[in-house]
Amino acid sequence: MTQKKPVVFITRPIPQNGIAMLKKHFTVRLRKVNSPIPKKELEKEIQNCTALLTILTDKIDGKIMDLNPNLKVISNFAVGFDNIDISAASKRGIAVGNTPGVLTQSTAEHTLALILALMKRIVEGQKIMERNAFCGWGPLYMLGKELYKKTIGVVGFGRIGVRLAEIAYYGFGCNILYDNPSVNKKMEHAIHAKHVKLATLLKKADVVSLHVPLLPHTHHLIGKKELSLMKKTAYLINTARGAVVDEKALLSALKKGQIAGAGLDVFECEPSRTAGLEKLNNVVMVPHTGSATVEAREGMAQVAAQNIIGILKKGAKPVSIVNA
């Protein structure tokens, strides 16, 4: 008698390379709607699978997991995993995977794009041209700033933070400050990065770039107090998780001129953003597209698939299991 293949349920379309990998070994059920899965539909689908491939918008808690005692692995299509209750998964013997590494370059480039867009006033200029409001060149017209030799403060010195620091140092001659639980001696030697406390970084940096995961102790890591420490000429960039920043406090600081501007790829109550940010010329906002390149998303699909294969197939190895 032929043994049934394990079933993998994918909550939303992902690049085909990941799906093809899974189909070689398992029965794949793909939800073909390109939007977040409703809770009731997720509750129904999870009951009949051995593996679940989730998107960061899918909230997976213990109650959801308990609907299927045969669930073996949850593979998250993201580096972050704050949408999954890791403790609950571990108690139930469910492996949880993520996709680190493959989106490092994309997100670092994206962060740099936000920095340059702010400092060179690119979006503000685009709006002027759209309104046909350009009155002609002038010596003092639309003056921005150069990134060259400025001080970049990197909060969270993991893969993405380090890659941004390398690009800023080698490409723009920037000075690098970083706040991180551990010291990175390799980068301190290679690019002369300096390990400092968060308060010191906020006071000295011309650009503060956030690259920390969303955890209880990083929720509103940047709030009213922290924003007040920053230079009036400094810029805040968030390509990490929206709730790392108190968005209302940020809006207030921007309106008061406490900081020069902000570049936001993520939002506290995503997909919504705090009303009022869209009215400010010193804010550049994009819809969580830090990893939105063909190269990064195909890499994420490959890792997410391999995490499932590595757990369910004898002799195979997953790439990244966060609760191993």
One pLDDT digit (tens) per residue for the chain, 324 residues: 456 899 999 999 999 999 999 999 999 999 999 999 999 999 999 999 999 999 999 999 999 999 999 999 999 999 999 999 999 999 999 999 999 999 999 999 999 999 999 999 999 999 999 999 999 999 999 999 999 999 999 999 999 999 999 999 999 999 999 999 999 999 999 999 999 999 999 999 999 999 999 999 999 999 999 999 999 999 999 999 999 999 999 999 999 999 999 999 999 999 999 999 999 999 999 999 999 999 999 999 999 999 999 999 999 999 999 998
Chain segment 296-319, per-residue pLDDT in tens: 999 999 999 999 999 999 999 999
Residue 164 burial (CB count, 10 A)? 28
Same domain, 97 and 123: no
> How buried is 197 (Cβ within 10 angstroms: 0-12 exposed, 13-18 middle, 19+ buried)?
exposed
Tell me whether residue 54 is in a domain: yes
**Contact partners, residue 189, CB within 8 Å, separation at least 6:** none
Residue 88 burial (CB count, 10 A)? 17
**Contact partners, residue 202, CB within 8 Å, separation at least 6:** 153, 208, 226, 229, 230
What is the arrangement of strands in the sheet containing 27-30, beginning at the earlier edge strand? 27-30, 7-10, 51-54, 73-76, 95-97
Same domain, 130 and 262: yes
Q: Are 22 and 305 in contact (CB under 8 A)?
A: yes
**Domains identified in the chain, total number:** 2
Known catalytic residue: 270? Answer: yes
CATH code of the domain in which 187 resides: 3.40.50.720
Torsion of CA 237, 212, 83, 302, to 10 degrees: 90
Same domain, 77 and 11: yes
Name the residue range of residue 225's domain: 104-285
CA-closest candidate to residue 210, choices 175, 187, 239, 235 = 239
Active-site residue identified among 12, 159, 211, 241: 241
Tell me whether residue 64 is in a domain: yes
Same domain, 38 and 111: no
Same domain, 118 and 41: no
- The conformation of residue 204, written as its DSSP 8-state character, comes to H
**Where do runs of H (alpha helix) occur along the chain?**
16-23, 39-45, 62-65, 86-91, 104-119, 122-130, 159-172, 185-190, 198-204, 224-229, 247-256, 294-312
Same domain, 148 and 279: yes
Q: What's the rounded Cα separation, in Å, for the pair 59 and 96?
A: 13
Distances (CA, A) of 107 to 179, 183, 250, 305: 19, 22, 22, 21
Q: Are 14 and 292 in contact (CB under 8 A)?
A: no
Same domain, 256 and 216: yes
Same domain, 265 and 153: yes
Known catalytic residue: 288? Answer: yes
> How buried is 211 (Cβ within 10 angstroms: 0-12 exposed, 13-18 middle, 19+ buried)?
buried
Distances (CA, A) of 280 to 251, 252, 260, 263, 311: 9, 11, 11, 12, 48
Tell me whether residue 319 is in a domain: no
Same domain, 94 and 109: no
Phi, psi of 243 (to 5 degrees): -75, -5
Active-site residue identified among 195, 219, 288, 298: 288
Coil, helix or strand at residue 165: helix
Same domain, 306 and 265: no
Instruction: List residues bridging with 151 in a β-sheet.
Output: 175
pLDDT of residue 239: 98
**Contact partners, residue 16, CB within 8 Å, separation at least 6:** 301
Alpha-carbon radius of gyration of the chain: 22
pLDDT of residue 2: 57
Active-site residue identified among 43, 109, 166, 270: 270
Same domain, 281 and 299: no
Same domain, 188 and 120: yes
